[in-house]
Structure 1
Amino acid sequence: MQWRQSLLVLALAGVLSSCRDGNGGGGEPDPQPPAPEPAAYRVTVGTAAARADSRLACFKGNGEAECGLRLYQIMVEAFVDGDSTADYNTGYGTSPHKGDLQGVINSLDYIQSTGVNAIWLTPIFKSVRVAGQSDWADRLDATGYFASDYFNVDPHFGTNDKLKELVAAAHARGLYVFLDGVFGHFKSNAQDYASPLGRKVSTTGSAQGDTGRSAVYPDDLEFFKEVAAHWVTEYKIDGWRLDQAYQVPVQYWDDLRTAVAEAAATASYTNRAGQTVHPLGYMVGEIWRSAGEISDQGYGTTASPGLLSVFDFPMRYSLVQSLAVEESGSGNRAANNLHAGYLSHLAYPAHAMPNLMLTNHDVVRFGDLLQRGSLADPTGETYWARHKAAFSFMASYSGPITLYYGDELGQELPGFAARDSSSTCAINGRCDDHVSRTSAIVEGVASTVGGTPAVLSAEQASLKSHVAALMALRDAHPALANGSRTHIFSDTNLYIDRKDKGSDNVLYVLNTKAEPAVVTIAGTAIGSAGALLGLLDGAEVVGSGGNYEIRLKPFEARFFDIASPTAEGPRTGAGSELSGEGPLADCHTPAVEGLGPLNKEMFIRGSYAGGDNFGATPASRRFAYKGNNLYQVVVHEPVPTAYTFKFASADWSKEFAVRSSAAVVIATEQTMAVAAGSGTESSLAIPEAGDYVFSFRINATQTGGEMMVSQCQ
């Protein structure tokens, strides 16, 4: 991937205006004027912003089945009640807590109709109460995340045979099945439940809550290798989602992956096409941390790989920040924030297959985030349009993706945005970390035994149909899931990528804002010499004078087949250098005595390796005062990386980032502003190893100034 910023040819034209002619004469009144046409954002793109990104596994076009996965996550205890004898009746969130495996079976036709090709079930292993455990421990048991018996299904969810029935029914519909593996902790009574080969978990791990205990490695390695293989060989599951994967030392993921791969090689089942196939053997880790930490604790290194796939939390936050807000309330950012999310992949080794999700069971639903940011609610068109935009970006993403149940319908919790945030939220089910665990809305299926089957509203049906169309598009065009990415352009409003895999060449154009947009793109910028064929709407865009004019409604995304790609491909602009100019780029300015006008020691605080997720203030990232309101520190970056950061004091009384929390453009002077509170940090991609000077010049009012990151020559 060429990281260097391009010199884009931008021509901001005037806005559209509406006019009418009078209709005088004959004594007839003038007709009512048409509603004014909204102003359109206009931009011209003359060159592409970056060369093709083909470093990571799913950008190489090798056709790995894992890259094309479209998982549908199910929180089993909250989803659908299909068996009145298998209920927990307690848990976190607002559902009745009666969900079970039969409810999933009842919903498989609906799940298939969304266009996904896999399901992920939250943990279903047996949790056994310990004497005197609290109501909170009962609720935790319902989640399944602290198992006692790793070799049997929890009777609150069903039976072992019911799981086999579910897996077989899913496979018959062309759906892979993944279970949730918790290999880093377990319930304190787990040692009472030996494996079929007589293995038991350790008893020396540290306490986890009231009833849990940490696993110990390598002591527990053989036990969990047996667990990982058992459900593949005996139940034909296709792999694992791995909870809190950082709890397993990264060097042991290779052993666990090998156990799953060997089990998959010996097991087989009949798929939808009537073919005998092996389970896929895919494993994806949950490491809810920065890109650098995900790399270190999940992926490992090229020489010593750990996991091959981990959820792409950095990109998830870029996505919700751009089209909604993140949980902190910060968001509605520029479209180029999406490109910054891709740049976070610089921190990953080449074998990485990041998996992108919009929501999961631990975060707030996209619909609720829209309302938290006062951006839209379900009564308005914008609410549904923003959902469609978010799913379009997921459809364009290179690598596996995960949909959380209900998001395809715009599901939200009414009134949550105005919730009471007191300590009782855990009781009323309105805490951020479990509010998304709601009863499912499954068309034609009752959420509880004996209930009324769900009927979708017109808006829900439209969104679900759109999601299914996007998933079908992703299935039909392998360039989307498993192709190289050339970033063509992004700015405040627009985001444009080209995706390529062999002869499959797709242009993705997204308007992230509430006004319509008109973008004029040079054919040379996208490497096209013929018509662009709309893949969703069938509309054709014909070039004129070597340019294409593409019109976009608010929050609209369009996908085009590049019918006649040029041999040269997209034309890239001249890249800027990594080293800037001026005082902010000088790596050798001598320090002066004192702390300067801020009267505080200032640090780069962030998610970089060793940064303790913004908690650390290492001396190696402490600013020196250089006089004239200038602060600088030179940092050695040993490898390409990406992270988020602020310039902040140890007591957080001073916090600054790029204005509007925009991404850093290396070697470019940018405006700095106060960035108080969570969710206001800026992102930075370091494309190559070297020494970099971080500089900022504080203004007289101490409310901002200028900043730069520049490589030292």
Structure 2
Amino acid sequence: MFISFSLLLLLVSSFDTSKFRGLTVYQIFVSTFSDGDASGFQNGWGSTSTTFSGNLQGIITKLPYISNLGFNAIWMTPIFDQGYNNSQSSINSNCKNHPSTGYFSNDYFSIDPHFGTTTDFQNLVKTAHENGLFVILDGVFGHWKYPECLSDIKASPNNKKPVALASTKNVADYTKKDTLDFFVEVAKYWIKNFDIDGWRLDVANEISYTVGGVTTNMLSYIRDAVHEAAEENKKLNKKWGTLGYIVGEVWKGGIDDLLKYYGTSVDDSVDSFFDFPGYYDMIKVVAQTADKETSSTASNIFTSINRVYEKKYENWMFPNLMIGNHDLPRIGNLVRNRWNVAQDTDKYFEALRMAFGTQAIFPGPITVYYGEETGDILECWNQSGDCGAAKDNCGRTNFVKTFIQRAQDERAIVERVIKFRTTHPSMYSINAESTVTPYSNSASLYARKYLGDDDWNKNVIMAINMKSTAVEFDVGTFACLRNLFTNQTMKVDKKITLQAFSSALFVDCDPKQSSESGVSTSWVMFFVALIMLTI
């Protein structure tokens, strides 16, 4: 049985998590995102049309772009040294292609030279922070490099090394004290020495051990290490490296299985997990899953939101909703396959917008996979095997440098919505009244009334019509609503009409602007006062 030991941290359930719910994260798959110099890998798992030469310098060049879209955080796939050398490529495909993913490290305290240098990483963190972006690293704390790839895990600065399960050779054995000591040290090292702001934990269910059929979750120890390191940075009056956010990946089962990993109290686990159940509920409506599962019930797109407001999640839980990642087909490919439409069509982008709008009003952190802001797609892929890609790596496309006009239009919409979300708690707060009203099987209305006093926007309304004909929705009476998708304002007298296969995301009009002329209310009041003085 595992024995608690003195080096473990005290629980810090009082840690400030108030910024977690409003996180809007941009995910980067490092080896395919952007090549800023001559480094990078040449081989990788994915499409034959993809190059794997991305690196830290390439990310640095794109940070202003990400910030200008309105995001407030980036998550990068693993960047730690994997001890790769050319002699390994002749052993087997795992040794040749896995290093480009970053998920098979052998030195957790060094940057992989194919991605860059320590100086590059310092510059990346500094530039990200200057652009208002939190930096989240990817921690693979449950497995590491294959032993046949001619490499061994390097010890930590405190001379700790993780122990592998005898049956696997590269999966962590958390019954061993050194394993937890090692990964606690990793988690704190990058926060204290480089001011990173959080961690994403890969295959978080591996951070556990099973004895006698009973599984014990060790995630709380990693979380406490992260929180403590962030608190230490706060005491040093640092502006960054104080967020202490952790999001775990548990890609198995449904909502009840995920809740088991959260535990029954704030001290049981990490604060956040990716909302895979919510992803599948949404993707089945607007597109299809990688296994071609679909749903014809429009209101299911709001299931993930309902779970939060119906208290399926406790208030201290922060599910993170995404509409794609590096292990999934791009949503564009799934939309094309479901509806048999090309990328430059209205229906293609309308389907994407339904998913993105739902994600934008999710009451918790969200993560957008790079390229989704422009409706990226792997043109050559429809099913596993096409152009050398499988369904778990076909989404690793290179960042598109030139865009069709429709993609540019979509990016402008994403920017408008993301910027509104990051500056308005009404878009993500749980302090609200929330309702879903189905309009037949193929249309649904979502409405939220924000109850806080820290945001002039009080109403969030999203309507989805998947029918082949127009649908009229009863929304109430409003002096002025703004459709974030079109940026148009309108007076609403009880009803709005959506055309076939379309959606709309409404918020209140800015009280500083006239709903018709766009004249600032401050100027209006000035002229009123001037007139009064002359009477």
Equivalent of 1:110 in 53, 56, 65: 65
| Matched position secondary structure for 1:267 | helix
| Matched position secondary structure for 1:207 | coil
1:109-160 per-residue CA deviation (whole Å, 9 max, x = no partner) reads: 2112222111100000111248663123221122111110000000010011
1:235 matched to 2:182? The reply is no
Give unpaired runs (5+ residues) of structure 1.
1-61, 442-453, 565-713
Equivalent of 1:150 in 102, 108, 111: 108
1:254 matched to 2:220? The reply is yes
| Matched position secondary structure for 1:440 | coil
1:193 maps to 154
1:558 maps to 505
| Matched position secondary structure for 1:110 | helix
Once the two structures are TM-superposed, the CA of residue 370 in structure 1 deviates from its matched residue by 1.1
Tell me, yes or no, if the aligned pair for 1:67 and 1:481 is still in contact at 8 Å: yes
1:169 matched to 2:122? The reply is no
Shift of the 245–471 alpha-carbon distance from structure 1 to 2, 3 Å rule, reads same
Percent of residue pairs identical: 32
| RMSD value, Cα | 2.6
1:596 maps to none
The one-letter code matched in structure 2 to 1:319 is M
Equivalent of 2:19 in 65, 81, 84: 65
1:269-297 per-residue CA deviation (whole Å, 9 max, x = no partner) reads: 999xxx8344211000011122111111x
Tell me, yes or no, if the aligned pair for 1:188 and 1:213 is still in contact at 8 Å: no
Q: Distance in 1 between matches of 2:175 and 2:399?
A: 38
| Matched position secondary structure for 2:359 | helix
1:323 matched to 2:277? The reply is no
Q: Distance in 2 between matches of 1:376 and 1:516?
A: 18
2:422 maps to 475
Tell me, yes or no, if the aligned pair for 2:22 and 2:422 is still in contact at 8 Å: yes
Q: Distance in 2 between matches of 1:302 and 1:268?
A: 25
Q: Distance in 2 between matches of 1:500 and 1:260?
A: 32
Equivalent positions of 1:311-710 (< 5 A) are: 311-343=274-306, 347-417=312-382, 419=383, 421=384, 428-441=387-400, 454-483=401-430, 484-491=432-439, 492=441, 493-503=443-453, 504-515=457-468, 517-521=470-474, 523=476, 530-534=478-482, 536=484, 537-543=487-493, 548-553=494-499, 554-561=501-508
Tell me, yes or no, if the aligned pair for 2:282 and 2:355 is still in contact at 8 Å: yes
1:122 matched to 2:77? The reply is yes
Shift of the 171–268 alpha-carbon distance from structure 1 to 2, 3 Å rule, reads farther
1:101 matched to 2:56? The reply is yes
Q: Distance in 1 between matches of 2:290 and 2:265?
A: 34
Q: Distance in 1 between matches of 2:236 and 2:91?
A: 44
The one-letter code matched in structure 1 to 2:227 is A
Q: Which has the higher helix share?
A: 2
Once the two structures are TM-superposed, the CA of residue 336 in structure 1 deviates from its matched residue by 1.5
Tell me, yes or no, if the aligned pair for 2:288 and 2:338 is still in contact at 8 Å: yes
Shift of the 563–466 alpha-carbon distance from structure 1 to 2, 3 Å rule, reads closer
1:276-327 per-residue CA deviation (whole Å, 9 max, x = no partner) reads: 344211000011122111111x311127421110000111111111111111
The one-letter code matched in structure 1 to 2:80 is F
Q: Distance in 1 between matches of 2:241 and 2:111?
A: 23
Shift of the 347–63 alpha-carbon distance from structure 1 to 2, 3 Å rule, reads closer
Of structures 1 and 2, the larger Rg is shown by 1
Once the two structures are TM-superposed, the CA of residue 552 in structure 1 deviates from its matched residue by 2.0
Once the two structures are TM-superposed, the CA of residue 246 in structure 1 deviates from its matched residue by 0.6
Deviates further, 217-226 or 280-289: 217-226
Equivalent positions of 1:13-92 (< 5 A) are: 64-84=18-38, 86-92=39-45
Tell me, yes or no, if the aligned pair for 1:68 and 1:399 is still in contact at 8 Å: yes
- Tell me the TM-score normalised to structure 2 length: 0.82
The one-letter code matched in structure 2 to 1:65 is K
2:514 maps to none
1:225 maps to 184
Q: Distance in 2 between matches of 1:91 and 1:499?
A: 47
Once the two structures are TM-superposed, the CA of residue 358 in structure 1 deviates from its matched residue by 0.4
Tell me, yes or no, if the aligned pair for 2:335 and 2:352 is still in contact at 8 Å: no
Q: Distance in 2 between matches of 1:521 and 1:389?
A: 19
Once the two structures are TM-superposed, the CA of residue 498 in structure 1 deviates from its matched residue by 1.0
Q: Distance in 2 between matches of 1:78 and 1:88?
A: 9
Give unpaired runs (5+ residues) of structure 2.
1-15, 209-215, 512-535
2:255 maps to 291
| Matched position secondary structure for 1:233 | helix
Shift of the 350–335 alpha-carbon distance from structure 1 to 2, 3 Å rule, reads same
Shift of the 154–396 alpha-carbon distance from structure 1 to 2, 3 Å rule, reads same
Shift of the 269–166 alpha-carbon distance from structure 1 to 2, 3 Å rule, reads farther
Shift of the 559–97 alpha-carbon distance from structure 1 to 2, 3 Å rule, reads same
The one-letter code matched in structure 1 to 2:60 is I
2:264 maps to 301
1:623-642 per-residue CA deviation (whole Å, 9 max, x = no partner) reads: xxxxxxxxxxxxxxxxxxxx
| Matched position secondary structure for 2:162 | coil
Shift of the 401–76 alpha-carbon distance from structure 1 to 2, 3 Å rule, reads same
| Matched position secondary structure for 2:327 | coil
Q: Distance in 1 between matches of 2:325 and 2:74?
A: 13
Q: Distance in 2 between matches of 1:558 and 1:366?
A: 20
Tell me, yes or no, if the aligned pair for 1:291 and 1:348 is still in contact at 8 Å: no
Tell me, yes or no, if the aligned pair for 2:70 and 2:418 is still in contact at 8 Å: yes
Shift of the 501–238 alpha-carbon distance from structure 1 to 2, 3 Å rule, reads farther
Q: Distance in 2 between matches of 1:153 and 1:277?
A: 21
Deviates further, 402-411 or 126-135: 126-135
1:403-426 per-residue CA deviation (whole Å, 9 max, x = no partner) reads: 001111111011312x5x45xx6x
Q: Distance in 1 between matches of 2:292 and 2:188?
A: 42
Once the two structures are TM-superposed, the CA of residue 485 in structure 1 deviates from its matched residue by 4.6
1:328-353 per-residue CA deviation (whole Å, 9 max, x = no partner) reads: 22225221112434455565444211
Q: Distance in 2 between matches of 1:137 and 1:495?
A: 50
1:577-601 per-residue CA deviation (whole Å, 9 max, x = no partner) reads: xxxxxxxxxxxxxxxxxxxxxxxxx
Shift of the 167–196 alpha-carbon distance from structure 1 to 2, 3 Å rule, reads same
Tell me, yes or no, if the aligned pair for 1:361 and 1:434 is still in contact at 8 Å: yes
| Matched position secondary structure for 1:337 | helix
Tell me, yes or no, if the aligned pair for 2:302 and 2:436 is still in contact at 8 Å: no
The one-letter code matched in structure 1 to 2:79 is I
1:136 matched to 2:89? The reply is no
Shift of the 270–411 alpha-carbon distance from structure 1 to 2, 3 Å rule, reads farther
Tell me, yes or no, if the aligned pair for 1:512 and 1:555 is still in contact at 8 Å: yes
Shift of the 215–99 alpha-carbon distance from structure 1 to 2, 3 Å rule, reads farther
1:225-262 per-residue CA deviation (whole Å, 9 max, x = no partner) reads: 00000000111110001100011126422211111111
Q: Distance in 2 between matches of 1:433 and 1:341?
A: 23
Tell me, yes or no, if the aligned pair for 1:478 and 1:501 is still in contact at 8 Å: no
Once the two structures are TM-superposed, the CA of residue 514 in structure 1 deviates from its matched residue by 4.8
Tell me, yes or no, if the aligned pair for 2:482 and 2:509 is still in contact at 8 Å: no
Q: Distance in 1 between matches of 2:115 and 2:266?
A: 41
The one-letter code matched in structure 2 to 1:202 is V
| Matched position secondary structure for 2:246 | strand
| Matched position secondary structure for 1:531 | strand
Aligned residues: 468
Shift of the 304–177 alpha-carbon distance from structure 1 to 2, 3 Å rule, reads closer
| Matched position secondary structure for 2:192 | helix
